Structure 1
């Protein structure tokens, strides 16, 4: 079951980006209710990704890069950039949620215009990490998350 979790998690993340893109498209057409439903769906899917990822990381560990040694530094740089983007995207998303909860529509729209593209880039870079870890190259050993992140 543990070897399937990364695929399930990636599915959640891709579905989150798809529903966010559809929600963005809906609000540009002034379809507020459809936008709300799609964005809530996107947040739920992203949350399911995060819960699955955190659970696997805490209980099992993180998968190390199993590709060629000459690509290790490139992979680690890509992974760390993805991690920073994911953190920024999550913070911006939480701010957008806070503003809509407080009914600050202008602030919500302003932060959403930044948060959505950051989330799309995060999803694409996450797909790249997933492909390098599980599809293109055989997965490396599963180790403590901090050791994997530092490339040890």
Structure 2
């Protein structure tokens, strides 16, 4: 069922915009914070695993909507959102308690690593408003806007989650 009014409330738009700005700023600020004496070195494989599961749940959401199972689609998307939030919390917790790991590869593999890493970081910032607006349109049954935005948000979200796993696999041999 489509609603006749294809707009989000101004409050919803402001909230999504604020969250889309606050999250990257908070992460950037927290990268300057170091908490000594806490060992969270076990987290990188966990948050890489969370990203891998996110890719799977996003693909399952796609299958569900292709089969016109909106309730299952919504469930998988909501689970993907929770996973992404949990990833973010683990990622920040690890980085405020651990020193950065330098990538030790050389030559072409180094170029590939930095391309994947930089595109992952840039798109992880950009994906926040895309995903949140897509979700808001969908949950508010603003189907036309939801479909338009998801054309961009979905593949980028998959890319960000998948490259999170790839970055981990490439850097993991260099963890101390």
Distance 2:107 2:40 in 1: 25
Alignment gaps of 5+ in structure 2: 1-38
Distance 2:164 2:45 in 1: 12
Q: Indicate the RMSD between aligned Cα atoms, in angstroms.
A: 2.1
2:85 equivalent to 1:58: no
2:165 equivalent to 1:127: yes
User: Which residue, 58, 61, 81 being the options, matches 1:43?
Assistant: 81
Tell whether the 8 Å contact from 2:101 to 2:174 is kept in structure 1 after alignment: no
Alignment gaps of 5+ in structure 1: 142-152
Tell whether the 8 Å contact from 2:54 to 2:80 is kept in structure 1 after alignment: yes
Q: CA deviation at 1:81?
A: 1.4
Distance 2:108 2:71 in 1: 50
Superposed structure 1 runs of 4+ greater than 6 Å apart: none
Distance 2:52 2:115 in 1: 22
SS of 2:174's partner is coil
Distance 1:70 1:3 in 2: 28
User: Which residue, 76, 79, 102 being the options, matches 2:114?
Assistant: 76
> How many residues get paired?
138
2:161 equivalent to 1:138: no
Q: CA deviation at 1:111?
A: 1.1
Q: CA deviation at 1:92?
A: 1.1
SS of 1:110's partner is helix
Once the two structures are superposed, residues 111-152 of structure 1 have per-residue CA deviations (whole angstroms, 9 ceiling, x without a partner) of 122211111122222222111100xx322x6xxxxxxxxxxx
Tell whether the 8 Å contact from 1:96 to 1:108 is kept in structure 2 after alignment: yes
Q: Which protein has the larger Cα radius of gyration, Structure 1 or Structure 2?
A: 2
